[in-house]
Amino acid sequence: GAVVSQHPSRVICKSGTSVKIECRSLDFQATTMFWYRQFPKKSLMLMATSNEGSKATYEQGVEKDKFLINHASLTLSTLTVTSAHPEDSSFYICSASVGSYNEQFFGPGTRLTVL
């Protein structure tokens, strides 16, 4: 299957700081990438759909000014959590869509802890 990487895998930051998470497709070009958030023992929650060269589409209830998404190339999308607060602590996972049947391959995830 297609390989997706994420960096960093774990980050701890102070409240009020901004954190950038990178998502890369390593062996294919991803026109569309997705950002999810998952709280402990809960299901995946789609935050936004990221398309190369255009603005991201955010799901209802997700603040676009707080979660900035940039999809600058066909292999890189970034999520920036701005002015992070403890309630933003979560497991953030990106995925990339491949093929006409919309298979999604996930990155390993980034665990964010805001103190």
82/89 with CB nearer other proteins: 89
| Cα three-residue angle 79-84-89, rounded to 5 degrees | 85
Name which of 94, 95, 90 is nearest 105 in CA terms: 95
CB 49 to other proteins: min, Å: 6
Asked whether the beta carbons of 59 and 47 are under 8 A apart, the reply is yes
Where does this chain bind other proteins (CB under 8 A)?
Answer: 1, 32, 34, 43-44, 46, 49, 91, 93, 97, 101-109
CB 65 to other proteins: min, Å: 22
10/85 with CB nearer other proteins: 10
Name which of 11, 39, 8 is nearest 23 in CA terms: 8
17/64 with CB nearer other proteins: 64
13/105 with CB nearer other proteins: 105
Ramachandran class of 50: left when φ > 0, alpha when ψ lies in -120 to 50, beta otherwise = beta
CB 89 to other proteins: min, Å: 14
